[in-house]
Amino acid sequence: MRREHGTPRDDWEKIIEGQGLAYHRAAHPSGLSRPYWDESVHYVFSMEEVEALEEQVEELHRMCLGVVEHVISTGRFADFAIPEWAWEEVARSWERRDPHVYARFDLRYDGTGPAKLLEYNADTPTSLVESSVVQWFWLQDRFPGDDQWNSVHERLVERWRELRLPPGPIHFAFTNMDETGEEAMTVAYLQETAEQAGLRTMAIAMEDIGWDALNRRFADLGGQMIRSAFKLYPWEWMLDDDFGRQAVRHSTWIEPLWKTLLSNKALLALLWELHPGHPNLLPAYLGDPRELTSYIAKPMLGREGASMRIVTPEGTQETPGSYGKEGYVFQGFEALPVFEGQRPVLGAWIVADEAAGLGIRETTGLITDDTSSFVPHRIAD
pLDDT, tens digit (0-9, with 9 covering 90-100), for 325-367: 889 999 999 999 999 999 999 999 999 999 999 999 999 988 8
% of the chain residues with pLDDT over 90: 85
Q: How far apart are CA 109 and CA 87, in angstroms?
A: 35
pLDDT, position 180: 82
Residues 227-267 have pLDDT tens digits of 999 999 999 999 999 889 999 999 999 999 999 999 999 99
Q: Give the sign of the dihedral formed by CA 72, CA 73, CA 78, CA 84.
A: positive
pTM: 0.95
Band (pLDDT 50/70/90 cuts) for residue 181 is confident
Band (pLDDT 50/70/90 cuts) for residue 225 is very high
Q: How far apart are CA 82 and CA 163, in angstroms?
A: 27
Band (pLDDT 50/70/90 cuts) for residue 316 is very high
Residues 6+ apart with CB under 8 A from 377: 42, 43, 44, 45, 135, 148, 149, 358, 360
Q: Tell which residue, 37, 57, 125, has the closest CA to residue 304.
A: 125
Total residues found in the chain within this entry: 381
Is pLDDT of 211 > 90? Answer: yes
pLDDT, position 178: 79
Q: Tell which residue, 164, 323, 330, 334, has the closest CA to residue 236.
A: 323
Residues 75-100 have pLDDT tens digits of 999 999 999 999 999 999 999 999 99
Q: How far apart are CA 314 and CA 172, in angstroms?
A: 47
Band (pLDDT 50/70/90 cuts) for residue 139 is very high
Contact status, residue 275 vs residue 111, Cβ threshold 8 Å: no
Across 108-134, b (16+ Cβ under 10 Å) vs e yields bbeeeeebbbbbbbbbbbbbbbbbbbb
Is pLDDT of 30 > 80? Answer: no
Which of 65-69, 236-240, 277-281 shows the lowest mean pLDDT across its residues?
236-240
